[in-house]
Amino acid sequence: MAVSGGKVTQIYVCCSCLSTSHLEVVGKKKIARLVSLLRHASKPKIDVIVDSALNVHNIASHLERESESNDLALGVLIEINGGQNRCGVESRNEESIVEIYRSIESYAGLTFRGLHCYGGNLQHVRSPAERQSLVMAGPIAAAERARNSLAKIGVSCDIITGGGTGTFQFEADGGVHNEIQPGSYAFMDVDYSLNDDGKDRFENALFVHTSVVSTASSPGERTVVDAGSKAVSLDCGPPCVTRLDINQGLSGSIDEGFTYECGGDEHGILIHSSDMCGKVLNEGDTLRMIPGHIDPTVNMHDWLICVRKHPSGKDFIVEDTWRIRGRGPGI
């Protein structure tokens, strides 16, 4: 398993603990940072993902200028469009795939490593059967076509990578991909839990803590908390409040008594339902929420507070704090 498609800042942070990372790098400044990372990182094997011969040329040219006695080397994977129409060469465009491969092989500092074919648009197809069918017809079929195009000229692929938290099992079993790259499974979020099989494999492990700041407006009907759009990502739907009576809210058990609505940058509005069962919230009370989308939510914060259940089973203790060093736009 590898980290793939990450921004350069993330790879800088992770280089001390990764064995392999794949990333897309376009533009002079980013390529310069990549070359700097190659010079200073001792452990990880870093590959870049490309979908044009021009990008191959730009990366190779900078690598040649900065390399001393050809001491810097870089693996390259060709990005294949798996159906999302985001990045990638069309899998039926055999001419372009071969052209990019030959461009890679024409530079001494570059080594062709294989193919990258990922279907990000399929991760949240709710039905597992439908999701599997779309993965087979999309990323798996596209990767196979691209692989076969290269096989015609006698080229094999050491790596064919793809698959996320929602689809990795299908790529793993599909007979084409030999590397997977799920990430959200480590924490999980509301959007993944809405998949029909979303709660079967992985549990929620990350929660945003928020405090009640006002109950003055329509008491008993809504409560205002201090987690707005600067604290939780809303691009894949709102967060969900967890039940405080189960593991102090540190579980995947949703409190059906509240529905979150964005109140702006600094505020969230919790709409009460008939399931409140007499619960009363006061100013200063702390609640826990599962983010709607884990990746951009983590990207907003500076620290992860790691907790473990006390041996007595009655409370949680802080085990460690982790700085989120790769946060931000990563430009």
200-214 pLDDT, tens digit per residue, is 889 999 999 999 999
What CATH number does the domain containing 75 carry?
Answer: 3.20.20.10
Are residues 178 and 212 part of one domain? no
Q: What is d(CA 324, CA 304) in angstroms, rounded to the nearest whole number?
A: 7
Any domain includes 229: yes
Q: Are 170 and 135 in contact (CB under 8 A)?
A: yes
Tell me the average pLDDT of the chain.
90
Residue 7 has pLDDT above 70, yes or no: no
Q: What pLDDT does residue 3 have?
A: 54
The model's pTM: 0.90
What CATH number does the domain containing 294 carry?
Answer: 2.40.37.20
Q: How far is CA 296 from CA 149, 194, 300, 302, in A?
A: 36, 18, 7, 12
Q: What pLDDT does residue 319 have?
A: 95
What are the DSSP calls for 208-248, one per residue?
A: EEEEEEE--SSTTTEEEES--TTTS--BTB--EEBPTTTGG
Contact partners, residue 85, CB within 8 Å, separation at least 6 = none
Q: What pLDDT does residue 33 have?
A: 87
Q: What pLDDT does residue 34 have?
A: 87
Name the CA dihedral angle for 10, 144, 179, 115, rounded to a multiple of 10 degrees. -40
For residue 72, name the pLDDT band (cuts at 50, 70, 90).
confident
Are residues 168 and 217 part of one domain? no
Residue 275 has pLDDT above 80, yes or no: no
Any domain includes 41: yes
Cα-Cα end-to-end distance for the chain: 25
Are residues 215 and 170 part of one domain? no
Are residues 115 and 22 part of one domain? yes
Letter for the amino acid at 171?
A: E
Q: Per residue in 214-232, pLDDT tens?
A: 998 887 789 999 999 999 9
For residue 327, name the pLDDT band (cuts at 50, 70, 90).
confident
Are residues 162 and 218 part of one domain? no
Decide which of 2 and 298 is more confident.
Answer: 298
Q: ∠ at Cα 30 (70, 113), nearest 5°?
A: 55
Are residues 94 and 235 part of one domain? no
Are residues 88 and 17 part of one domain? yes
Are residues 144 and 96 part of one domain? yes
Alpha-carbon 254 to chain mean position: 23
Are residues 176 and 66 part of one domain? yes
Any domain includes 163: yes
Residue 77 has pLDDT above 80, yes or no: yes
Q: What pLDDT does residue 284 have?
A: 96
Any domain includes 198: no
Are residues 124 and 31 part of one domain? yes
Domain count, the chain: 2
Any domain includes 28: yes
Q: What percent of the chain has pLDDT over 90?
A: 70
Are residues 106 and 23 part of one domain? yes
For residue 35, name the pLDDT band (cuts at 50, 70, 90).
confident
Any domain includes 200: no
| Mean pLDDT value of segment 75-93 | 97
For residue 70, name the pLDDT band (cuts at 50, 70, 90).
low
Q: Which domain holds residue 65?
A: 3-182
Any domain includes 190: no
Decide which of 222 and 72 is more confident.
Answer: 222
Q: What pLDDT does residue 24 have?
A: 84
Residue 241 has pLDDT above 80, yes or no: yes
Any domain includes 94: yes
Are residues 137 and 30 part of one domain? yes
